[in-house]
A and B are shown apart, each in its own frame.
Chain A
Amino acid sequence: DIQMTQSPASLSASVGETVTITCRASENIYSYLAWYQQKQGKSPQLLVYNAKTLAEGVPSRFSGSGSGTQFSLKINSLQPEDFGSYYCQHHYGTPYTFGGGTKLEIK
């Protein structure tokens, strides 16, 4: 199975800052990577798929990049509603493993 390693596990940032979350795959997954945001007590919400394609309705301050085994999610000018947990997941053949998650908190 493909392993997904996400970092950092937690992150503290202020409104207006720019943050980057990284995800590393244990083998080449080309661009088959998605990113999700999850708020406490809610279902995950798709942000990015195919490594860099923003899902419908996702603000342009979010951006995804990478291919192969190294990926990142960048959030420009953090807004109060951006705080929560973020997960990567590959979609290159089953099982579609998730990364361990990044908890983004307000500083």
Chain B
Amino acid sequence: QVQLQQSGAELARPGASVKLSCKASGYTFTSYWMQWVKQRPGQGLEWIGAIYPGDGDTRYTQKFKGKATLTADKSSSTAYMQLSSLASEDSAVYYCARGGYPLYWGQGTTLTVSS
């Protein structure tokens, strides 16, 4: 069965960087886009970007260009999102999700940015 297993909760300092992971199983990793979505506490869903692991093609919404960097490791079927220059506004739950209209979502990773 398809599973997306995300890395555990993170606590990071302002100004630091963090790399979140999303390990896929149960399907051909290189055949589906992987989306990343942000959700701040009590707020709605915000689309960050997507990566196609088959060829590494990436797409970002303008707001997250320079903030988020998406990569994928085909050997381990794992997608990554690095967030840089962290600020309090980056504190959120981050989801990975498979495909253009995802049926499969990861459980989410909670990132807390605090000094």
Which residue of B has the minimal Cβ distance to A33?
A: B101
- In the complex, whether A44 has a CB less than 8 A from a CB of chain B is yes
Q: Which residues of A contact B45 (CB under 8 A)?
A: 36, 38, 44, 87, 89, 98, 101
Chain B, residue nearest A35 (CB): B101
Interface size class of B (residues with CB under 8 A): 20 to 34
* Residue in A1, A96, A97 whose Cβ sees the most chain B Cβ within 10 Å: A96
User: From DSSP, what is the main secondary structure of chain A's interface residues?
Assistant: loop
**Interface residue SS majority, chain B:** strand
Q: Are B44 and A101 in contact (CB under 8 A)?
A: yes
A43 in contact with B44 (CB, 8 Å) = no
Does B59 interact with chain A (Cβ within 8 Å)? Answer: yes
* A34 interfacial by beta-carbon distance below 8 Å: yes
A72-104, CB < 8 A from B = 85, 87, 89, 91, 94-101
Chain A, interface residues (CB within 8 Å), range: 20 to 34
The residue on B at minimum CB distance from A55 is B103
Interface centre among A1, A87, A95 (most CB of B within 10 A): A95
Q: Is the CB of B101 within 8 A of A46?
A: yes
Taking CB atoms, residues of chain B closer than 8 Å to A46 are 101-103
Chain A 26-78 residues near chain B, CB threshold 8 A: 34, 36, 38, 43-46, 49-50, 55-56
How close is B39's CB to chain A, nearest CB, in angstroms?
A: 9
Contact B47 A98 (CB under 8 A): yes
Complex CA gap A85/B106 in Å reads 18
The complex places the Cα of A1 from the Cα of B44 at a distance, in Å, of 18
Given A1-B62, A43-B105, A46-B102, A100:B44 Cβ within 8 A: yes
A95-B44 CB under 8 A given contacts A34-B101, A46-B103, A49-B101: no
Q: Give min CB distance, B61 to chain A, whole Å.
A: 4
Residues on A lying within 8 angstroms of B by beta carbon are 1, 34, 36, 38, 43-46, 49-50, 55-56, 85, 87, 89, 91, 94-101
Instruction: Give 18 A-B pairs besides A44-B105, A96-B35 with Cβ atoms closer than 8 angstroms.
Output: A1-B61, A34-B101, A43-B97, A43-B107, A43-B108, A44-B95, A44-B102, A46-B102, A55-B103, A91-B100, A94-B59, A95-B47, A95-B49, A95-B61, A95-B62, A97-B47, A98-B37, A98-B45
